[in-house]
């Protein structure tokens, strides 16, 4: 017995040592490296199993390098014919951006985030408003409807959207749908077959054939994009499923009120959403749709802009995480106030330092998070970050009416970010995300009014009361924080 125990321990440490070499050589993030090392050494079997399933990027580099090449080749053609030169746009309109021009320059440098000066922005609060606008826009489609969703469920809400899509497809409108295979696990095979039978082209993003190949779960298409006829677009936090709406007839089984945010765009910013969709479509389908006027129709120039929009996207195929860098740059430009709403707050060290530095410099920072999210592990892991922020002077509110799933930020009442990205490591490092960066007071003020309404049903964390959390609770929280880079 002792011999078998000795052999088992020796084998474990040998495997752990070999795994450690690979972890340290292939994992870019020091925090993630440390978390994986803790797993393989202190959870003898489970740790190695978890790392082998989710830690090793078996095909990521090869797969997404190919996707990035396809994206850039596609964009090169698009930029020549559709998007105006970045320098010209900044020279003509940069003065309207004030000190937020810093963010615009960062995104323009990437060449994939052109500045749109003729786009109307409509803020859509909660699924009931998003679905109404979405159905109305789809009903008006004449040529094509493109949808890309993390979650598309075959429940009553999914059926409601599908009925419109199938009818439009039968009328001759080209309908294309990309869904994330993991996120849309509640889409039935029968539902997908009905969509295809009606003439809708449907593809799963990075299909999962065996759930045990869990490294595929790391790189998910978390985007929620709709493009209609190349001039109307939607993006934000709201997927297609019953629990994203508070309408009684569709949310009868919901246990919580769902608070979320989406935007409707009309104008040239939709070109960027179209590019993102078509690049992903070509990757998923193997087709080679071109950047022609069918998908990028001429949009007449409007009056001098009151608001300007940039679409920023990133993912495992991006050399830089522009979603993260845009958050960071926006925080760095703040002079008066930052207001953040996010359902999951697991920031990296750089973002934490930027928020603390801004707070210590006198910027008023308010962070709104759920009192209870749909992931208790993340709730625990987030708490130590609140401790640090509160100590620096940040006001942290917990939403009590239900679950706040909105992902938004306003800076100084004149700049907004709304989209699909949570303020967490998974959104920054693993997921394909897309946000709208909106320069101007109209959307920022509307988001601030919504934030004020949300605060009425939220509780400010009291610093003194917060300190009295029991030792067992603190152990749980800080234990989960050690693993936060893996969540």
What residues are labeled active site?
222, 224, 229, 405, 407, 412
* Separation between Cα atoms, residue 86 and residue 104, nearest integer Å: 10
CB atoms within 10 A of CB 375: 14
Residue 14 three-state SS: helix
Asked if 117 and 305 count as a contact pair (C-beta separation under 8 A), the reply is yes
Secondary structure letter of residue 432 according to DSSP: B
Rounded to 5 degrees, φ, ψ at 335 are -120, -25
* Separation between Cα atoms, residue 38 and residue 403, nearest integer Å: 32
Distance of CA 276 to the CA centre of its chain: 14
Asked if 151 and 338 count as a contact pair (C-beta separation under 8 A), the reply is no
Asked if 259 and 406 count as a contact pair (C-beta separation under 8 A), the reply is yes
Residue 443 three-state SS: helix
Q: In this structure, what token pair is assigned to residue 385?
A: 């970050």
* Separation between Cα atoms, residue 180 and residue 225, nearest integer Å: 12
* Separation between Cα atoms, residue 342 and residue 406, nearest integer Å: 6
Q: Which residues lie closer than 8 Å to 228 by C-beta, 6 or more apart?
A: 137, 138, 140, 141, 144, 145, 146
């Amino acid at each position: 017995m002792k011999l078998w125990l000795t052999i088992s321990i020796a084998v474990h440490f040998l495997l752990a040592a070999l795994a450690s070499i690979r972890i340290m050589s292939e994992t870019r993030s020091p925090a993630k490296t440390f978390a994986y090392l803790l797993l393989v050494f202190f959870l003898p079997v489970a740790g190695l199993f978890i790392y082998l399933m989710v830690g090793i990027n078996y095909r990521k580099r090869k797969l997404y390098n190919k996707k990035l090449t396809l994206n850039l080749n596609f964009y090169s053609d698009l930029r020549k014919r559709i998007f105006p030169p970045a320098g010209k746009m900044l020279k003509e309109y940069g003065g309207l951006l004030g000190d937020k021009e810093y963010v615009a320059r960062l995104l323009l440098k990437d060449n994939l985030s052109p500045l749109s000066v003729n786009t109307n922005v409509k803020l859509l609060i909660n699924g009931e408003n998003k679905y109404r606008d979405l159905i109305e826009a789809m009903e008006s489609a004449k040529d094509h409807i493109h949808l890309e969703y993390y979650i598309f469920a075959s429940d009553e809400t999914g059926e409601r959207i599908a009925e419109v899509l199938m009818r439009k497809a039968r009328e001759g409108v080209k309908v294309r749908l990309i869904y994330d295979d993991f996120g849309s696990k509640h889409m039935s095979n029968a539902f997908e077959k009905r969509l295809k039978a009606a003439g809708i082209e449907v593809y799963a993003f990075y299909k999962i054939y065996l759930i045990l190949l869990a490294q595929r779960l790391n790189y998910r298409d978390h985007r929620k994009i709709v493009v209609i006829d190349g001039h109307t677009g939607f993006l934000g936090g709201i997927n297609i499923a019953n629990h994203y709406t508070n309408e009684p007839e569709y949310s009868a089984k919901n246990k919580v009120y769902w608070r979320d945010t989406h935007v409707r765009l009309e104008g040239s910013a939709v070109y960027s959403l179209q590019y993102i969709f078509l690049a992903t479509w070509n990757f998923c389908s193997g087709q080679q749709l071109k950047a022609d006027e069918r998908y990028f129709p001429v949009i007449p120039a409007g009056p001098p802009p009151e608001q300007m929009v940039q679409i920023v996207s990133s993912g495992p195929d991006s050399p830089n995480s522009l979603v993260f860098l845009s958050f960071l740059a926006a925080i760095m430009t703040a002079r008066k106030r930052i207001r953040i709403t996010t359902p999951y707050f697991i920031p990296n060290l750089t973002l934490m330092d930027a928020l603390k530095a801004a707070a210590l410099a006198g910027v008023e920072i308010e962070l709104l998070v759920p009192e209870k999210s749909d992931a208790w592990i993340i709730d625990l892991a987030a708490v130590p970050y609140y401790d640090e922020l509160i100590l620096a002077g940040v006001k942290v509110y917990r939403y009590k009416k239900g679950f706040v799933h909105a992902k938004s930020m306003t800076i100084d009442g004149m700049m907004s970010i709304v989209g699909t990205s949570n303020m967490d490591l998974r959104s920054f490092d693993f997921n394909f995300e897309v946000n709208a960066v909106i320069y101007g007071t109209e959307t920022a003020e509307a988001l601030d009014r919504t934030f004020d309404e949300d605060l009425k049903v939220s509780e400010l964390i009291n610093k003194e009361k917060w300190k009295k959390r029991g030792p067992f609770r603190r152990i749980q929280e800080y234990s989960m924080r050690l693993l936060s880079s893996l969540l």
